[in-house]
Amino acid sequence: MSIAENLHHIKSALPTHVTLIAVTKTHPVDKLMEVYTAGHKIFGENKVQEMCEKAELLPKDIEWHLIGHLQSNKVKYIAPFVAMIHSVDSLKLLQEINKQAQKNNRVIPCLLQIYIAKEDTKFGLSFEEAKELIASEAFQQLQNIKILGLMGMASNTDDQTVIKNEFRSLKTFFNEQQKNHSANFEPSILSMGMSSDYALAIECGSTMIRVGSSIFGQRNYL
Ligand SMILES: *Cc1c(COP(=O)(O)O)cnc(C)c1O
């Protein structure tokens, strides 16, 4: 199937409360334009430089979501235009995002990335660390960021039970944290699910899925 057909196939089956992020990493801009002309304008990239280069070349009404690990010293490059940062995993990073957002006279929507997988390779905060961050005074002072929800990645396994349990644990934590909302913490978005597991993620309460290979085909490199 073509990229446009893949996109329609996925979107037509999505519940209305679920937002699709088309994960465009590693793909050239002509492929991204196929998605754009098919009517989809929400893109996800995992590297700052790649996102900046593509944003420069593509139409300005695209929403760019940064979904990969973010280093503090690179925040300044995306702060003027990024629509959402999914990968906030420390207070220090959040403080830098706040600082750069302030310079750009805006509020940057963010998600806290929570570590739910049984692997050493995934970034993110533990439930305890996330709770501490949200409760801290330093966090509450930040006026140019808003935490709109949580992001998580399940283990890279074929075992559906393991994946489901990880998604469920994040959903449970998300529900608990919704009671703690404050000026800059208003969680309504649960970003979980990729090509291999988004159906399961939606079943477990996801409201935002990040899908690459099911739209564009396999990536040739990481
Ligand atoms: C690459 C990536 C995805 C999409 O992965 P696919 O398996 O291609 O759908 C989702 N989330 C993050 C954080 C990614 O880096």
pLDDT of residue 198: 98
Residue 65 lies in a domain: yes
Residue 82 lies in a domain: yes
Residue 111 lies in a domain: yes
Q: How many residues does the chain have?
A: 222
Residue 182 lies in a domain: yes
Candidate from 3, 122, 194, 200 with most ligand 1 atoms within 8 A of CB, to mutate: 194
The answer, yes or no, to whether any atom of ligand 1 lies below 6 A from the CB of 46, is: yes
| Coil, helix or strand at residue 182 | strand
pLDDT of residue 118: 85
pLDDT tens column, 10-68 = 999 999 999 999 999 999 999 999 999 999 999 999 999 999 999 999 999 999 999 99
| Domain that includes residue 142, residue range | 3-216
Number of structural domains found in the chain = 1
CA-to-CA distance for 147 and 189, rounded, in angstroms? Answer: 9
pLDDT of residue 13: 95
Strands (E), the chain: 19-23, 42-45, 63-66, 84-88, 108-115, 145-153, 185-192, 208-211
Residue 222 lies in a domain: no
Q: Could you tell me if 187 and 148 are in contact, meaning their C-beta atoms sit under 8 angstroms apart?
A: yes
Candidate from 6, 10, 23, 219 with most ligand 1 atoms within 8 A of CB, to mutate: 23
Which atom in ligand 1 lies closest to the alpha carbon of residue 46?
Answer: 15
CA-to-CA distance for 178 and 213, rounded, in angstroms? Answer: 32
Place of tokens 């644990």: 169
What's the average pLDDT block by block, 10 residues per block, for the chain (222 residues)? Answer: 95 97 97 98 98 98 98 98 98 98 98 91 90 97 98 95 97 96 96 97 98 92 55
The answer, yes or no, to whether any atom of ligand 1 lies below 6 A from the CB of 148, is: no
The answer, yes or no, to whether any atom of ligand 1 lies below 6 A from the CB of 124, is: no
The answer, yes or no, to whether any atom of ligand 1 lies below 6 A from the CB of 195, is: yes
Q: Ligand 1: distance of its center to the CA of 212 in Å?
A: 6
pLDDT of residue 167: 98
User: What rounded mean pLDDT belongs to the chain?
Assistant: 96
Candidate from 25, 46, 50 with most ligand 1 atoms within 8 A of CB, to mutate: 46
pLDDT of residue 222: 52
pLDDT of residue 219: 81
Q: Which helix (H) or strand (E) holds 83?
A: none
CATH code of residue 209: 3.20.20.10
The answer, yes or no, to whether any atom of ligand 1 lies below 6 A from the CB of 190, is: no
pLDDT of residue 123: 86
CA-to-CA distance for 81 and 33, rounded, in angstroms? Answer: 19
Residue 221 lies in a domain: no
In Å, how far from its chain's centre is CA 203? 18
Nearest Cα residue to atom 11 of ligand 1: 210
Q: Could you tell me if 110 and 151 are in contact, meaning their C-beta atoms sit under 8 angstroms apart?
A: no
pLDDT of residue 220: 72
- Helix then strand then coil, in percent of the chain rounded to 5, is 40, 20, 35
Count helices and strands (H / E) in the chain: 10, 8
pLDDT of residue 142: 98
